[in-house]
Amino acid sequence: MTRRLPLVLTLFVGLAALAAQAADRDSGEHQYVGARKCKSCHGKELMGDQYGAWLKDPHHRAFETLKNEHSLAIAKEKGLAEPPHQSDACLSCHVTAYGVPATRIAHELDPADGVQCESCHGPGRDYRKKKVMSDREQALAKGLWDVGEDPAICTGCHNPESPTFDPERYTLPDGSHAGFDFAQASERIAHPIPEHVKGRYLELEEERKQARDAAER
């Protein structure tokens, strides 16, 4: 008992800290713009084409999934009144910014885009400018979430409230199982900025532009 108490305490403090973090994460002052607005820069090959990676990601098809046989079967079993793709019970985790007031949506989000960038990176209207984005501190101050340090962003949806949650989906390094593992799950949807570009995009873009101009002259 005496040895267990500190663990319980640590866990409690940890959870309280996570809850506090979750509360400041979405301050409510920034607006959503939708993945297509991220594409102008994050669809570029030099950047590593995160937009293209997301098009192939399960999150992009999350809305379409709600129309398949499996979803209809779940809806029937639950006795849902509406079809799953129109039901609060499903949409809350299968699209971005569900239930967020219209005043916080700068550009209409297409539900067909499923779970978009901003579900994980935060509402982007104020951080999406090149100069802001290139300065991590500024971007965080303008609404970017530090998703690499915040697994609670994922477990907001990847939790037992999901009708398909499987507590054994992930095998951990020690051989035990978990319904979600942040490290492995992040790896499955990885869309990094190439190593040699990270932190240098604007500089490299400028170099390319000058090389193009020189070639044209």
Task: Find tokens 């569900």 and name the residue.
Answer: 98
Q: Using CB under 6 A, which of 109, 126, 128, 142 touches ligand HEC?
A: 128
Q: Are 109 and 123 in contact (CB under 8 A)?
A: no
Q: Which two tokens stand for residue 42?
A: 């994050």
Q: Are 143 and 124 in contact (CB under 8 A)?
A: yes
Q: Find the binding residues for ligand HEC in span 131-190 (CB under 6 A).
A: 133-134, 136, 139, 147-148, 153-154, 156-159, 161-165, 169, 185-186, 188-189
Q: Shortest Cβ distance from residue 212 to ligand HEC (Å)?
A: 18
In this complex, which beta carbon is closest to ligand HEC, that of residue 69 or of residue 216? 69
Question: Of the ranges 1-9, 13-21, 22-30, 199-207, which one interacts with ligand HEC (CB under 6 A)?
Answer: 199-207
Question: Using CB atoms, what's the residue nearest to ligand HEC?
Answer: 124
Within 13 Å, how many C-alpha atoms sit on residue 98's CB side? 22
Query: Residue 54: helix, strand or coil by DSSP?
Result: helix
Q: Residue 74 class from Cβ within 10 Å (0-12 exposed, 13-18 middle, 19+ buried)? A: middle
CA 162 – CA 13 distance, rounded (Å): 26
Task: Find tokens 């319980």 and name the residue.
Answer: 8
For position 94 contacting ligand HEC by CB under 6 A, the verdict is yes
- Which residues contact ligand HEC (rule: CB under 6 A)? 33, 35, 37-38, 40-42, 50-51, 54, 58-59, 61-62, 65-66, 70-71, 74-75, 78, 84, 87, 89-90, 92-94, 115-121, 124, 128, 130, 133-134, 136, 139, 147-148, 153-154, 156-159, 161-165, 169, 185-186, 188-189, 191-193, 198-202
